[in-house]
Structure 1
């Protein structure tokens, strides 16, 4: 598996530091150290920046220009016969969310585990819908080989109606183990349709929908493609507003 390459960085005189917090086509949304968010585009024909990248960018009248991507500690990506897809960089862990129903794919789970370990990223498996006793029991048994290999595993029962306006530390008891696992880390969440990924994001980040709408408005809606990956700051109640990051990717 060949790792996606990126061109040598050009000079960075006059640039500012920033963190890529959303990606959409060739454009990215960059958050400055002061918390301001700026739309940036790459210098050249193809963007190599992904969510989680620390970059140097050059301000312009309407949009910034990405001048340099700082060295990465890792890059989570997948590759098949047709293409390579990069998800996010500089991660502490990958949360692989699957559900008791619909039945999860062991092949997809294994590929995600391999991709994480290839980059030295800690994988965590979370099995959702523990409230469905019989299907959950079957799914939990199906995961026995992964537990035997030492992978950390969580059981969850994510319900949209449990969302509230507080921070993540005020969420129901079944999410507290997950909140502690996320605290102080940058985590990419992966999961197939129906696993509960959107519900999880909305539970941990109550204003996620508002933030997504603000991004769309900033991008002038149809001018750019739909956001594919987004970084959200999670309020874990420790007073560090930008210490815990959840990255949601389709």
Structure 2
């Protein structure tokens, strides 16, 4: 661990001192040969443990919905993890379902779906928003800031996407692991703590959202903003759509 990651404030909570360097998107999401140069930030033990528990479950479940170029490799990584975690394996097996689906008018095909907790994905992406904002732009997000990550309905995406095309203080676009984790971020010109993100993990599609029944999304949207900023409430409300 580099000296710059120890004894400084934890990027995730800003309350405790960091004792480790945390990969913003966990190394275990990636094949062994694609784990270089992943973003890292300073983290305390408490935040690192909470984030690790989320990652442990999601790295075993999300590969079943992988749509990126190395989807088969991701699924092969998930199988031994499930073998070691009997409880997770049993819960996953109990929730497996099959349906018939046509994509964009193509041939009807049998499709398997597995249960995944939206809240777990969105909580993990809450950590990721904080980590990426600090990694790219040294933005420290504490109690005086609102941070949220969420899947969006089509109506929400139509309102959110135009922000990525406008003028900005800074923009970033990355793809790690040939589609394992891809993201795009913008930082507002007049408010550095206002950052907007859209992210995908394995390109996996997630459905079952009560706000958009029958719809699926492979993109998670995130935002950070000062609570006192006038537009914060409006922007946060978009993530509720």
Q: Normalising by the residue count of structure 1, what TM-score does the alignment of the two structures yield? A: 0.30
Higher helix fraction: Structure 1 or Structure 2? 2
Q: Normalising by the residue count of structure 2, what TM-score does the alignment of the two structures yield? A: 0.31
